[in-house]
A = this chain, B = another copy of it.
């Protein structure tokens, strides 16, 4: 049984303040439970370090199925804060972690309690909660949130094994991304903001066809079989998390092309929960009304099939939400800046910041459609949320410059 111990290392000479919750938990022991559940875990007890930070991290959860653009999303998010996200220096080359000046993104696959062999033996998928260690996930996210460093396991996607843990210092913004960030109520309650990337079955299928059939030579039958095999656990354990998300990015087939099943032109919805602290939903033209907008006309000439935006209030799992939808794709920069100029509550710091971010990463997947646009917007909203929380903690009224 592996035990990880936590030590308070805050020096008296440190400029940092300690906090009450930290004092109550100067030493935290927790169990990885890797043995109990039959998985293997390399490395045993390790010493945790407490980071010297005035601010405790803001914790963000991002849920999505494997291979659904989470890493692109994370690169867009870290880009909003400036600086590139890179794996921890000198560590395991198969680490799933990305670190930038402000953000640290960890992959929740690292909390697999069963490795590939273990899952095969028990007949459970990685989607199954029984293949994941939620106690450890909770304890480590909680520690980070309290400003303490953690010794996080690594699930090696190449070998399918659990590698020795890596040390993670509490950053300004801590993102947990993966299959189950909102599955466990305790972890969920630690999140300052949560996002669910909801890729519709049709689009998922079209993407898999594109990647696995065209690029990897898999058969259509095997792709269908792999999707079908995954579906029951996905529906049981992953999909229900979206009801808890503060923002959902829903990716659907276009409605601009009749009977389209290519999955190249996308209709993307940004579903934003109302009443979330430090989060003001983006709106189009008139807050709270229902609007459709085809910006292609006299001022913009969009190529087929054009672009269509929709905006309006709705309910989502019983919550009041605002929904912004983009169907179609951008051909050129002027379309993007034109669209940006008509959206409000974007939390940009200057006019055109969304467009600038999108252009900066024009090579990222989805840069010409709603996935890239909405990921960028969510990145700006998270920056805004972070700044509001910091300002709040400093006891000062928020005066973040917003456009």
Contact = CB atoms under 8 A, between A and B. Distances in A.
Contacts of A44: none
A89 B291 CA distance: 51
A313 interface: yes
A289 B294 contact: yes
A287 B294 contact: no
Number of copies: 2
Interface string A95-131: 0000000000000000000000000000000000000
A285 B289 CA distance: 12
A87 interface: no
Interface string A140-153: 00000000000000
B285 A297 contact: no
Contacts of A313: 297-298
A294 B291 contact: yes
A263 interface: no
Contacts of A293: 285-286, 289-291
A295 interface: yes
A292 B293 CA distance: 7
A287 B298 contact: yes
Contacts of A296: 289-290
Contacts of A342: 285-286
B292 A297 contact: no
Contacts of A288: 297-299
A169 to B, nearest CB: 43
Interface string A199-217: 0000000000000000000
A299 B287 CA distance: 8
Nearest to A285: B285
A69 interface: no
A312 interface: yes
Interface in A289-326: 289-300, 312-313
Contact of A285 (B286, B290, B312): B286
Contacts of A295: 286, 289
Interface of A: 285-300, 312-313, 342
